Amino acid sequence: MRNCNEQRDRLFAAIATEAAQCRLCPAMAGRTAVLSYRNGRVQARVMFIGEAPGRQGGDRTRVPLSGDQSGRNFERFIHSINLPRTEIFITNAVLCNPRTSTGANRTPTDCEAANCSDFLRRQIEIIDPPVIATLGRVALAALRRIEYHALSLRDAVGSVHEWNKRLLVPLYHPSPQVLASHRREAAQLRDYRQVARALGCNR
């Protein structure tokens, strides 16, 4: 087991170094990928996948889903199922912060998500989590590039599905905009209980 964990650590360190040097996306060539041991436990049983680091969140703190309101919402949701950050791994479909010319966060383009797809695939292979929870439409679509699925966020949210020999729980992103207009807090709290259910199936 020790040798296996050491090998996993070496592979993860290598991919983090490679991601830090990546310059595939011209609009983000001056930014650094948010991928390091600060993302969470490399031996995690659940991996959360977001859209991209937020300008005031992960891009600033170097920790995904931290330092902004989305991060605070996420903390509240995982704590509701007694799941501490020390037991999870968090990454993003796109590892650098996409922003507009005015500095505001923007949705990653399909090309940017495709450029990061191999990094996501390798993270999943290295960490090998039995449960994956996607946070939003972009993250759910990113998995389709790795192993096809026909799930849509609207129809599959808060339910457990088999994907790529593991369990997948699609969730909405914990951003304040989503909470206000698409998926209220009570519904999201119910959705996170499905993550706990999926983890219980893999104990």
pLDDT on residue 1: 61
Q: What is the pTM of this model?
A: 0.96
Summarised one tens digit per residue, pLDDT across range 83-102 is 999 999 999 999 999 999 99
pLDDT on residue 183: 93
Residue 153 has pLDDT above 70, yes or no: yes
Q: Strands, DSSP E only, in 52-116?
A: 88-92
Structure token pair of residue 116: 């990061």
pLDDT on residue 20: 96
Q: How many CB atoms lie within 10 A of CB 125?
A: 13
pLDDT on residue 30: 86
Q: Where are the domains of the chain?
A: 2-201
Q: Could you confirm whether domain 2-201 is CATH 1.10.600.10?
A: no
Q: Is 200 helix (H, G, I), strand (E, B) or coil?
A: helix
Taking residues 161-174, report their average pLDDT.
Answer: 97
Q: If we measure between CA atoms, which residue out of 102, 122, 94, 79 comes closest to residue 24?
A: 94
